Amino acid sequence: MRGSSTRWVALAAAIFVAAPCLAAKKKKNEDVTQTLEVLPDPPQVVKVDTARLTFEISPLSGKGLLSAQVKEAIKALWKVNRGEQIVKLRAFVAGTGDMRRFQQLVSEMFSEKRMPLPVVSTVQVGGLPLEGASVVIESTSLSKKPVNPHGLAFISGQAAEAPIDPDKPKMHVAPLAVQSVEKLKKALAAAGLSADDVLRVSCFSSSLDDYEQVRSIVAKDFGGAALNIVQIQRAPANAVVECEAVARLGKAPAQPVTLMNPDSLEASKNYSQIALVNSARVVLTGTQMGFRAQGADIRLAFERLKGSLEQSGAKIDRVIMSSIYPLTRAVMEKVRAVRFDFYDRARPPASTMLPFEGLPSVDATFALDVVAVLPD
């Protein structure tokens, strides 16, 4: 009996001694699990050398969900860039995945590799030309050596539109693609360029019903360029194909920036058809979102963009390419009414603006990103 009592006393003493240690260990483990690394957000602007910019498109994949596809797309872009710094990513996301994951994954993957973070633009589209595909990414990178010694040409989206025929179950837009490509070729000719000078073509279409034919039409003239084709909305208001391009200049223009509206293309007071840029450096921005649709709300988005540009040493009236992603045509018209309170009305930038499916915030009504020149 006495031995049994002794054993109980010893056990109680051991528990008494061990309890504080177990509590301390548990508290330490809880502290570890509750301390999460705060990843940096991608920058809003990045300053780059115009002569070193290169352009790529990620391959499409139908395997896995959005996060898995984003990871594979970024890895593919790293591989094709062979260690060159990626300075901008523009992602077109289809489906119901959380678009905010794109920016988070960019921060995670680039931080893990200790790479500088690129600026990021994320836009939801109505569809991608592969079943199961959730994302396609356009990358802009810095080559180790100059590859555009005379600068770049940014060509506005060249739109071809037609009413939707409600009696036809499918929307065939190949004839519109032909028109858009012909306009691109006219723009190139006016700038003294050829199809071989084109580095990237992005085509925004109302339908992918005849995607293979549309791709064939574009690739026939621009087979050497990085080519991206997406459907802008699930239920567009009209049939449209609008292709924009970036090209390498064959000779230096007379001025650091030349904005052109050639007679061969429709002139507009709202934008220039072509921007020729021989400025040594430009600023690339990520998307600046606007919320709600009143004039003051739209103005606030431009004010924020202006502030970001000024922090980098650029000015908003020196924007030479403007990409605007409204979600409705009503918002698009309101953006048109406000933007020349900020852009130079006498020298409007090249521009692409047409309605898209969505943005990373459910409250956003439009977004914009730009290219602006820095003082030499």
Kindly tell me if the per-residue pLDDT of 142 is higher than 50: yes
Q: Specify if 170 maps to a domain.
A: no
Amino acid code (one letter) for 44: Q
Mean pLDDT of 252-268: 92
The three-class DSSP label of residue 137 is strand
pLDDT value for 376 = 75
Q: Specify if 301 maps to a domain.
A: no
pLDDT value for 1 = 45
Q: What is the dihedral of CA 268, 274, 280, 285, to 10 degrees?
A: 70
pLDDT value for 50 = 97
pLDDT value for 33 = 53
Kindly tell me if the per-residue pLDDT of 240 is higher than 50: yes
* Residues with Cβ within 8 Å of residue 252, at least 6 apart in sequence: 150, 151, 278
Q: Specify if 284 maps to a domain.
A: no
Q: Specify if 54 maps to a domain.
A: yes
Q: Specify if 258 maps to a domain.
A: no
Task: Give the C-alpha separation, 198 to 165, whole Å.
Answer: 33
pLDDT value for 4 = 45
pLDDT value for 36 = 57
Mean pLDDT of 248-271: 93
Helix (H) or strand (E) holding 28: helix 2-34
Kindly tell me if the per-residue pLDDT of 17 is higher than 80: no
Task: Give the C-alpha separation, 177 to 56, whole Å.
Answer: 21
Could you tell me the pTM of the whole model?
A: 0.89
Tokens of 191: 């700038």
Kindly tell me if the per-residue pLDDT of 332 is higher than 80: yes
The structural domain count of the chain equals: 1
Q: Specify if 129 maps to a domain.
A: yes
pLDDT tens-digit series, residues 71-82: 999 999 999 998
pLDDT value for 167 = 80
pLDDT value for 363 = 93
Task: Give the C-alpha separation, 317 to 357, whole Å.
Answer: 28
For helices 100-112 and 66-81, give the axis angle rounded to 10 degrees: 40
Averaged pLDDT score across all residues of the chain: 91
Q: Specify if 230 maps to a domain.
A: no
Are 124 and 99 a contacting pair, CB within 8 Å? yes
pLDDT value for 6 = 46
pLDDT bin (cut points 50, 70, 90) of residue 166 is: confident
Kindly tell me if the per-residue pLDDT of 261 is higher than 70: yes
Task: Give the C-alpha separation, 272 to 350, whole Å.
Answer: 5
Provide Rg for the chain, Cα atoms: 26
pLDDT tens-digit series, residues 25-47: 554 555 555 555 678 899 999 99
> Exposed (0-12), middle (13-18) or buried (19+): which is 100, by Cβ within 10 Å?
exposed
**CATH code of the domain containing 66:** 3.30.1330.40
Amino acid code (one letter) for 293: A
Provide the residue range defining the domain that includes 112. Answer: 39-147
Q: Specify if 355 maps to a domain.
A: no
Cα–Cα nearest to 282, from 141, 174, 376: 376
pLDDT tens-digit series, residues 93-106: 998 889 999 999 99
